A and B are shown apart, each in its own frame.
Chain A
């Protein structure tokens, strides 16, 4: 029977397991093992009142060690775990706060997604994704590769001098704590807390130091303050629970541990302490052990009185952890968490529901406990509210320390715009950095290789730096944004009229509607393509080189529309283009290192009425000639042409009236083995007839050569 019950339990069929255990107990009499199995089944089924009742019976029948309570712990955690505590709790709109320690950034490191964390925090944290945006982090991170964000670190040290000094004291104190000089550590923590009274980590560490000196009351006080400052920080509850445990307040300790675990189910130390505490509570029950009763009386008289009154009824003994209470607990944690969302405005102890107050069956004895808790709350309220900078979204900073010059891009000498930070920790405008990377894949400031950075085409803005710019230099930043947008408008208005230059790629000739794949590798053209994409025009002009000098490009050209850009890891790209309008160059210019031109778009002259018949027959003839020529090619030649230019286009209904004539003639002009000068002549004429006659002549020549 027991085997059957176990089997049911293992297949998560807890109700069935409970039933079998229950029947077995009734049929074969009680035993510790059976009660324990039954209790585990109740616990896993979520029936905690029965579970505790049964656990206490199990405890009376045999010796049980804390580790055996793993199912109870698991079940409790599952019940209280927040579905996604991070979403509920964290104010993610932070500038100076590390979302791991919830403290002022210390040695900030900006990771791939643009979010910044303390160097030590991100190194030690186990989470596989960014706490802010859930982007995957390449763990394990190597300490040597995590470089401080130089700008952010400098600004934080400058703007928050007290916190900076406090952070240094904290490092010192932590080291001394490790050497077990707890008194000295506490003195240093005291000093640091004076400088940064709302630094919850300082308080948490002092709590730990007090605990190490067995000063649990003091440890609890600090832990209470931590929880108030950071109701969403699991470790605070852990500190609180540890102190409560040592003080013998086991029930409150359980609540604290569950609060901790509800925020982060992975805190293994809290799990261990939870089972130890539950074990204590359950072990206190045996009525036949006077020593235990004495201990109990010493530690928690209220609990002891209630034990007597209820004639040691274990059901009444554990009101805090009945199912209803767990629900309440969840409610409380939910409330805690929602106050956490508002903690920017400072914690408000009064609005936080107190666990003891919420329990329905609160007795006078309990009231005394809760009074004690209130005492603690009141004490913690006395924390001065100065220096709250690190938890406000944009804390007030001594204006004499705030200087726009600190946020100047070292490349363009303007205020940073869309700041990006390299893995080596240097911050530039995204545009400026990418322009440098067109030339050389090294950091402009420290020469570290940015090959990987470039290959990933990482362009994530450094959130903290942008946050500073938006909050502390709102006018200058919006002006900077406007400049950028103006530049984009300027780029976007290329070719709208004869006044706006179009970018010119001096390479080969393109023809209307004919595909033209391009390999872009020169830095200036990388910039040109990027600008075309960023401004949204997605087009540029292409001309052919006709002389020695840079600006000796042809007077006629063809627009290219970008259909797709595929980047190589080193920043080169394959740009899939297709020919657009033809143009005539009016004047030449330069921008950012590449050629530009003011142009006039051109189209064919309309075919005269009396020429229509002649032209139609010419079109038919030349089309067939072209077709014959293609058919005469070897299959490998044909394949090459098709791969590059696509299929030979078919006839179109409006061949005589289209702005550029039929598509197939351009396809032929592109495909035929012609000198560029001839191609250019055909491109630059606005007479369809001239092109067709030209084609006919060329084909005739080619045919006669073949024959």
Chain B
């Protein structure tokens, strides 16, 4: 694990992500920084995010894989576990991180989080409140935000 340059693990992970992408997700390394990934996640079907394409940024810190990748939504999203800065409340990105996890598993978890929001462990308190008090309305908000921010946004750009 010592030595200069990019660890073999990151090179291999990148190669495999490009060779066998996760369905519904594309992740490609930045031309200038191999530790920085441009990620696009398709809103899962049968979720309020269906039809949307969400841009994320994923960064592998120096200590990766000893510490988790840093991931953030760049596209605005109405979700109880994602705040307005795009930060994600996901255990495997925090204390449940394990070096045996990988970029692929992180992205799959994020996809799953979109399918199954967890308002009991909120990051965006107002959204979580809405979700708990009136779920139908919350889902409607989420659909609306998806239409507004996550459609026709093919060129990745910071939304705020």
Contact = CB atoms under 8 A, between A and B. Distances in A.
Contact of B66 (A431, A436, A591): A436
Contact of A410 (B8, B63, B100): B100
Contacts of B100: 410-411, 444-445
A412 B1 contact: yes
A373 B15 CA distance: 64
B13 interface: yes
A410 B98 CA distance: 11
Nearest to A442: B98
A432 B2 contact: no
B3 A593 contact: no
B14 to A, nearest CB: 11
Given A591-B2, A592-B2, A445 B9 contact: no
B8 A444 contact: no
A346 B111 CA distance: 56
A523 interface: yes
Contacts of B2: 487, 490-491, 531, 591-592
B98 A445 contact: yes
A447 B66 contact: no
Given A435-B66, A590-B62, A411 B12 contact: no
A691 to B, nearest CB: 37
A414 B62 contact: no
A568 interface: no
Given A412-B1, A531-B2, A593-B63, A436 B9 contact: no
A476 to B, nearest CB: 13
Contact of A413 (B8, B62, B66): B8
Contacts of B8: 412-414
A439 interface: yes
A83 B2 CA distance: 50
A637 B143 CA distance: 72
A447 B98 CA distance: 8
A413 B1 contact: no
B23 interface: no
Interface in B55-73: 62-63, 65-67
Nearest to A436: B99
Given A413-B8, A413-B13, A432-B1, A444 B63 contact: no
Interface string B114-156: 0000000000000000000000000000000000000000000
A367 to B, nearest CB: 67
A150 to B, nearest CB: 12
Contacts of B98: 436, 440, 442, 444-445, 447
A444 B99 contact: yes
A593 B62 contact: yes
A420 B66 CA distance: 19
Interface string B1-33: 111000111001100000000000000000000
Nearest to A440: B98
A529 to B, nearest CB: 14
Given A435-B1, A436-B99, A442-B98, A593 B9 contact: no
Contact of A411 (B3, B62, B63, B65): B65
A649 to B, nearest CB: 37
Interface in A560-598: 590-593
Nearest to A589: B4
A429 to B, nearest CB: 9
A439 B66 contact: yes
Nearest to B66: A439
Contact of A523 (B12, B62, B66): B66
Nearest to A412: B9
Nearest to A590: B62
Interface in A395-443: 410-414, 431-432, 435-436, 438-440, 442
Nearest to B65: A411
Interface in B71-112: 98-100
A514 B7 CA distance: 38
Contacts of B7: 412
Contacts of B1: 412, 431-432, 435, 592
A490 B5 CA distance: 14
Contact of A490 (B3, B9, B62, B66): B3
A593 B2 CA distance: 10
Nearest to B98: A444
Contacts of A414: 8-9
A487 B3 contact: yes
A444 B101 CA distance: 8
B15 to A, nearest CB: 10
Contact of B9 (A413, A444, A487, A592): A413
Contacts of B99: 411, 432, 435-436, 439, 444
A492 B4 CA distance: 15
Most chain A CB inside 10 Å of its own CB: which residue of B13, B62, B63, B98: B98
A241 to B, nearest CB: 52
Contacts of B65: 411
Contacts of A523: 66
Interface in A369-414: 410-414
Contacts of A445: 98, 100
A557 B86 CA distance: 43
B13 A593 contact: no
Nearest to B13: A413
A591 B98 CA distance: 21
A440 B1 CA distance: 18
A543 to B, nearest CB: 19
B94 to A, nearest CB: 12
A439 B66 CA distance: 7
A444 B100 CA distance: 5
Interface in A516-535: 523-524, 531
B17 to A, nearest CB: 12
A435 B1 CA distance: 10
Nearest to B15: A413
Interface in A457-492: 487, 490-491
Contacts of B66: 435-436, 438-439, 523, 593
Nearest to A431: B1
Nearest to B10: A413
Contact of B12 (A413, A440, A593): A413
A549 to B, nearest CB: 14
B66 to A, nearest CB: 6
A444 B99 CA distance: 6
B88 to A, nearest CB: 21
Nearest to A535: B2
B19 to A, nearest CB: 13
A414 B65 CA distance: 14
Contacts of A438: 66
A286 to B, nearest CB: 75
Most chain B CB inside 10 Å of its own CB: which residue of A440, A524, A531: A440
21 contacts: A410-B100, A412-B1, A412-B9, A413-B9, A413-B12, A413-B13, A431-B1, A432-B1, A432-B99, A435-B1, A436-B99, A439-B99, A440-B98, A444-B98, A444-B99, A444-B100, A445-B100, A487-B2, A490-B3, A491-B2, A592-B1
Q: Which 6 A-B pairs have the closest CB atoms?
A: A444-B100, A413-B9, A413-B12, A444-B98, A445-B100, A593-B63
Given A412-B9, A445-B98, A591-B2, 18 more contacts: A410-B100, A411-B9, A411-B100, A412-B8, A413-B9, A413-B12, A413-B13, A431-B1, A435-B1, A440-B98, A442-B98, A444-B100, A487-B2, A523-B66, A524-B63, A531-B2, A590-B62, A592-B2
Interface of B: 1-3, 7-9, 12-13, 62-63, 65-67, 98-100
